[in-house]
Structure 1
Amino acid sequence: MLKYYVVDAFADNIFEGNPAGVCIMDEWISIEKMEKIAIENNLSETAFAVKEGNAYGLRWFTPGGEIDLCGHATLATAYVLFRFVETNADVLHFNTKKINHHLIVTKKDDLYEMDFPTITPEKYHLTDLMVDALGAVPVEVLKTSRDLIFIFDSEDTVKNLTPDFSKIKQFPEGLSAYVTAKSEEFDFVARAFWPKINIDEDPVCGTMYCSLIPYWREKNGLDKMVARQVSKRGGTVYCEFCGERVKLSGRAALYLIGNICVDEK
C-alpha cells in the first residue's frame, strides 16, 4: 500500500491551481507501476519521491509517460513533506531522476519557493499549421530544447484562445505549446497546452516559467514579477530571475489523503 496525497499547487484555495498526485515511498517501485498509477490517477502529473541521504529522489509521470521537469508537482511534493514528514525543516533538496536537475524548495510562511534552472528560449519561425492550431497569430515564436512559446500582443487573446489540440499534436517541434502576453493586472499571463502527452491544458505549469521569466525579464527589466496562469482553474506564480536559476513561488491546498493498494490482488 502506498500513501497517496492530492495537492492543489499554485492555489490560494482548494479547487484552484493545478492538482498533483504525490506518493512518498520508502523505496522505488518499478517504472511500469509508476506509469500505471499515473494513468489511473489521471492527473496531469503524479510525483514519486524517495529519501536518498539528505535529499529526495524525485520522478514525475503524466498519463502519457515520464517527464523530465515539473514545477507544480514539485511544489505539491514539498508541501506534503513539509507538512507530514519533514515537519521541522524549512528547506528541501530534490534530485530528479530522468534528467539530473538539482531542485531546492524553501518554505517561507505560506509560500513555497522553488529554485529551478533558467531555460532561455531562442527565436523560432511561425508556420501556417501553428496559426491554424492556435486560432490566432502570435507576434513572436520561441523555442526551447523541449517546448514552443507563442507571444501574443493581447492578454484577452491569450485568455480567449480555443486551440485545436489535434493540430497542436501535429507540430513537428515542441512537446508543449505555451502562450503568453503582457498583462494589466499582473506582469504577464500565460497558458500551457500539452496534448502530445494527453493533457490538453495544464491548469498551472511551473516549468513553463523557467523559460517565460528570462523572456519577460528581457522585455520589462524586472527581476521580480507576478504572473497569472489564466486557465479555467487559474493560479498565481511569484517569479524571480536569478541568472542561471529562477525562483517560482506559490501556495498550496491539500485535497486528499489516501492509500493506493498496488499490491492487493
Structure 2
Amino acid sequence: MKFPMYIVDAFSSSADPFSGNPAAVCILSENRSSAWMQQVAAEMNLSETAFLQRRDGDSWNLRWFTPRCEVDLCGHATLAAAHVIWRELGDSRWDLLFHTRSGLLTASKAEAMISLDLPADPPQKLDVAPEALTRLLGQAPYWVGQGRHFLLAVVEDARLVRNLQPDMSLVASLPALGLIVTAPGDEPGLDMVSRFFAPRMGVPEDPVTGAAHCVLAVYWSTRLGKNRLQAFQASQRTGRLGLEITGDRVYLLGRTRTQLAGEFRG
C-alpha cells in the first residue's frame, strides 16, 4: 500500500523556512493497526507523526504518535494536519473538525495562519518542588505546578530558560511525562519564553509544543491578568505562537509550511 505523506513545519517563522516544529502527516485510505502507526512514527523519527483518516465526509479521525508512544494531544501535528488538508488536499471549508483522544478539536483559517481550539490544562501548584527539578535547574523554581501530564517550572530569568542544558536522566526521573520550563518574556511584546523536554516519550527536546502551551496559557493569563498572549519557544529551531484563553479552551495561532511531499510505502 501507498499512503500520501507530508512533512510540515508548524508554528514556523514567516522569515525562516527551517523554524518551527516538523511533523509528519500520513493520510490513511484504510484502517491500520496502532502497532503499524507506531512503527511508521519510529521510522519518521520526528517528535510527532499524525495519522488522518476521513470520517463521515466532513470530519477526520486524527491520532498522534511520537517515535515511542501514542499521545493524548499534540498541537503542532494538528496544525500540520490542517495545513495538509487545506493546502495539499484542496479542502475549501473554513473550519476542520478532528475526532481525537482529547475530544473534538477544531482548526480554523486565520488569514495567513491557522487557529486551533484546544482544551486548557490548568496547572495545580505543588507545595514542594521535586529535588531532581531543583538540581537540573541549578536553583529552586519560582513556582512549580502539575498539569495533566506535564510538570511546569517557572523561573524569573529568561536567560536560564534559553541556556538550560538539562540532564535528561533527571528530567526522565520527574513524576510527569514532560517538563515545561518558562520565564517572563525578554523581548518587547513577548509575554513568555519556554522550552519543553520529554525523554520518557522519546522526545528529549521538542522544538515547539502546542500541548505545553495549553498549560502555559493558563498560568501566564492568570499571572499577567490578560487572555491574549505572545509566546516564544526557545529551542534550537525556535517557534512563535499567539495564544488566547477563553473559559476552558485555549486558542493557538501559528504559521505552517510544507517541507516535503511524497508517499509512504507500507
TM-score with structure 1 setting the length: 0.95
Counterpart contact for 2:20–2:208, Cα < 8 Å:
yes
Counterpart contact for 1:23–1:49, Cα < 8 Å:
yes
The answer to whether 1:159 aligns with 2:146 is no
For 1:253 and 1:86, the matched residues in 2 are separated by 15
Residue 46 of structure 2: aligned partner: 43
Deviates most, 56-65 or 25-34: 25-34
Of 215, 221, 228, the match for 1:211:
215
- Structure 1 residue ranges (4+ consecutive) displaced by more than 3 angstroms after TM superposition: none
Q: Deviations over 1:91-119 (max 9, x none)?
A: 101010xx241110001111100000111
Residue 94 of structure 2: aligned partner: 90
Q: Secondary structure at the match of 2:46?
A: coil
Of 58, 63, 70, the match for 1:66:
70
Deviation at 1:145, TM superposition (A): 2.2
The answer to whether 1:235 aligns with 2:239 is yes
Q: Secondary structure at the match of 1:240?
A: strand
The answer to whether 1:111 aligns with 2:113 is yes
Deviates most, 124-133 or 31-40: 124-133
Residue 120 of structure 1: aligned partner: 122
Q: Deviations over 1:23-78 (max 9, x none)?
A: 11122211111000000100000000111112111000001110110000000000
The answer to whether 1:18 aligns with 2:18 is no
Residue 104 of structure 2: aligned partner: 102
Counterpart contact for 2:41–2:67, Cα < 8 Å:
yes
Structure 2 stretches of 5 or more lacking a match? none
Identical residues among aligned pairs (%): 38
Structure 1 stretches of 5 or more lacking a match? none
Counterpart contact for 1:152–1:179, Cα < 8 Å:
yes
Q: Deviations over 1:96-146 (max 9, x none)?
A: 0xx241110001111100000111110112122112233343111100121
Q: Secondary structure at the match of 2:221?
A: helix
Counterpart contact for 1:118–1:244, Cα < 8 Å:
yes
Q: Secondary structure at the match of 1:113?
A: strand
TM-score with structure 2 setting the length: 0.95
Of 77, 82, 92, the match for 1:78:
82
For 1:28 and 1:10, the matched residues in 2 are separated by 29
